[in-house]
Amino acid sequence: MLVTAFHDLVLGGRCVGCDRPGRVLCLPCRDDLQPTPRPAWPSPVPAGLREPWAAAPYDGTVRAMVLGHKEHRRLALTGPLGDLLAAAVAALLTDVAPDPARVVLVPVPSRPSSTRARGHDPTAAMTRVAAAVLRAHGLDVRRAALLRTRRGLADQAGLDAAGRAANLAGALRAHAPAVARLARAGRPVHVVVTDDVVTTGATAAESQRALTAVGLPPLGVAAVAATARRTPA
C-alpha cells in the first residue's frame, strides 16, 4: 500500500476526495470519513432480503473512493474502504447477533472477466481488510470466498431494478469445495454478505439465496455505501 501511495505521488496522483495533488486520499479527507452505519433498505425491497447495512451514503468522497478503487485500481484505497466496511459489519452484528462467534464474511463475487479487466477484485480485497480490522478488535471474523458467478452474467451497471433482478436470477452459486471446507470445522457460523455498494439490493438478495440453498442463510448484508432510496414509480 505504501508503494502504491508513493507511485501516486511520483506520477502526480491526486486525492479522489478534493483533487489536491499528492496522496490518493489526503489526510484531511481521510479524517473527514466518519462512518455512519445504518440500515440501507432499498425501495422496493427484493423478496427475502435480510438486513442491509451501509457505512455511508454513496456520494462525495466515498463514491469517488469506490470508483477510484474499482475502475482505476487506486489500491491505496483498499485500507480506508475496508475500514468503512468493517464499521458496517460491526453495526449489523450489534443489531442482529450481539455476541457472535465465528463470523464469516462472504464477498459478492465479481465476474471473472471484470476481475481480469480491472486487474483485481475490489470487494474481495476490501472484505479481507474488514475481517482483519474486526479481528484486531477481538472478534472471531474471517473472509471466505464462498460464491461464484455463473457464465452469461451481464454487467449490472445500466440495468434498472427489474432488469437487474432478471439478470441475476440464479446468477450466483456457492462453491462446493469452499463450503465443504467451512463445514469440516464443525461449529456453526454466522454468515454476512459483503459488497461495495447497495443499489437495488438484487445482488445481495441473490447472494443470500445462493448461500441459503447450501444451508448457510446469512444474517444480513454489509456494504461500504448505499445509494439514496429509490421511490417506486
Nearer to Zn ion, 28 or 170 (CB): 28
Phi, psi of 221 (to 5 degrees): -125, 135
Nearer to Zn ion, 26 or 106 (CB): 26
Nearer to Zn ion, 64 or 89 (CB): 64
Coil vs helix vs strand at 147: strand
Cβ of residue 55: shortest distance to Zn ion, in angstroms? 18
Q: Which residues contact 86 (CB under 8 A, 6 or more apart)?
A: 129, 130, 133, 134
Number of neighbouring beta carbons within 10 Å of residue 21: 11
Nearer to Zn ion, 21 or 39 (CB): 21
| CA 137 centroid distance within chain | 20
* Beta-sheet pairing, 147-149 with 172-174: antiparallel
Cβ of residue 83: shortest distance to Zn ion, in angstroms? 16
Q: How far is CA 74 from CA 1, 78, 79, in A?
A: 10, 8, 11
Cβ of residue 24: shortest distance to Zn ion, in angstroms? 9
Nearer to Zn ion, 29 or 77 (CB): 29
Residues in the site for Zn ion, rule: CB under 5 A?
15, 17-18, 26, 29
Beta bridge partners of 106: 193
Cell 464462498 sits on residue: 146
Cβ of residue 183: shortest distance to Zn ion, in angstroms? 45
Q: Are 70 and 58 in contact (CB under 8 A)?
A: no
Cβ of residue 119: shortest distance to Zn ion, in angstroms? 24
